[in-house]
Amino acid sequence: MSYRSIERILIAAISVIMVLWLAIPFAMALLWSLVDPSQAWSYPDLLPPKISFERWLVIWNTTSLPTAILNSYSLAPLAAILTVLMGAPTAFAFGRLDFPGKALAQLLMLLPLVMPGFVVAIFFGALLFSLGFFARYPAILFGQVILFLPYAVRILTVSFSQVRTDVVNAARDLGASRLAIFRVAYLPVLKPGIMAALLIVFIMSIEEFALAFVVGSPDFTTIPTILYSYIGYNFIRPNAAVVALILVVPNVILMLILERLLQSANPASVSGKG
């Protein structure tokens, strides 16, 4: 057998494994979410005896899932906008200015990535407690913004560094105001980066568990904390299946959009100049 055909067999095998790796778990979750509450799916049935959307309705009507969805999907856009707004000045400094200690500053920006998530969550909670701050919604929002700043700053730094100085200078020479310079020289190049940063923070905020769980406990719910309540202590499989799908499906769609955006984040294609 030649080297090429061994490689081909290997690649085929890996592909099959990867499909099983993903398809089986998701198919199981989908089936479990469709099990009709009137007829349990138990051993030795290979497939659920009766399939319906009854479970989805029951969960929607009897649990705090609607509130959790509202919380998650209102926190996420707010966190995304705030993170981008607060990260942009730092990204500008990193991307367009030179100053002593810049490498160290960029390293320190990564702190939230290397601090264990639950340590941050618990002692952020402690900090709020000692300051007498008990409003959980703004607390979680603020915590998420800080946790996700490194990602937004990283993406925007690249965007800012791609802004062409000659275009900025040309606009200035032609007497453009500061706002006009921003509009013609910066904004077109920054746009994909801004969109990508908004999306990635949005996605991470929807998925964020530690802060919402620790600071939000006991009764402030987001989609991940509800999911945790069904898979942890009280394992309720069909409910967990429904919530898992509600959590994962929109995120996958958003991630695919993100991938497109990051691919188009090319200065030449954005500014129309080589």
Partner 1 sequence: MRRALTILLLLAPGLGLVIALMGSVFYLAVMQSFGLMNFAGESALSLSYWQTMLAEPRYWRALQYSTYIATTSSLLAVALAYPLALLLRKPFRGSLLLSALIKAPLLVPGLVAAFLFINVIAYHGVINELMVRTGLWDKPIRMQNDANGYGVIFLQLWKQMPFAFLLLSGAVQGLPEPVLLAARDLGAGTMARFRKIVLPLTANAMQASLILIFIGAAGDFSFQAAAGPTSKHSLATLMSNLQGEQGDWNSAAVVAVTLMALSLFGSAILALAVRGIQRLVR
User: For residue 56, how many other CB atoms are within 10 A of its CB?
Assistant: 18
How many angstroms separate the Cα of 205 from the Cα of each of 2, 56, 192? 49, 24, 20
Q: Which of 64, 161, 251, 271 binds partner 1 (CB under 8 A)?
A: 251
Q: How far is the CB of 258 from partner 1 (least distance, A)?
A: 10
221-250 residues near partner 1, rule: CB under 8 A: 224, 227-228, 230-232, 235, 237, 240-241, 244, 247-248
- Taking the C-alpha atoms of residue 270 and residue 185, their distance in angstroms, rounded to an integer, is 11
Q: Which of 6, 13, 70, 115 binds partner 1 (CB under 8 A)?
A: 115
The nearer residue to partner 1, 92 or 220, going by C-beta atoms, is 92
Q: Which stretch binds partner 1 (CB under 8 A): 148-156, 166-174, 176-184, 193-201?
A: 148-156
42 near partner 1, judged by CB under 8 A: yes
155-184 residues near partner 1, rule: CB under 8 A: none
The nearer residue to partner 1, 97 or 272, going by C-beta atoms, is 97
Q: How far is the CB of 26 from partner 1 (least distance, A)?
A: 7
Q: Which residues contact 146 (CB under 8 A, 6 or more apart)?
A: 112
The nearer residue to partner 1, 156 or 189, going by C-beta atoms, is 156
Q: What is the chain's length?
A: 274
Pick from 101, 38, 85: nearest CA to 190: 85
Q: Which of 9, 108, 180, 187 binds partner 1 (CB under 8 A)?
A: 108
Q: How far is the CB of 17 from partner 1 (least distance, A)?
A: 9
64 near partner 1, judged by CB under 8 A: no
Q: Report whether 151 contacts 87 (CB < 8 A).
A: no
Q: Report whether 150 contacts 113 (CB < 8 A).
A: yes
264 near partner 1, judged by CB under 8 A: no
The nearer residue to partner 1, 64 or 271, going by C-beta atoms, is 64
Pick from 156, 219, 221: nearest CA to 189: 156
Half-sphere exposure of 121 (CA within 13 A, CB side): 14
- Taking the C-alpha atoms of residue 68 and residue 71, their distance in angstroms, rounded to an integer, is 5
- Taking the C-alpha atoms of residue 166 and residue 189, their distance in angstroms, rounded to an integer, is 13
261 near partner 1, judged by CB under 8 A: no
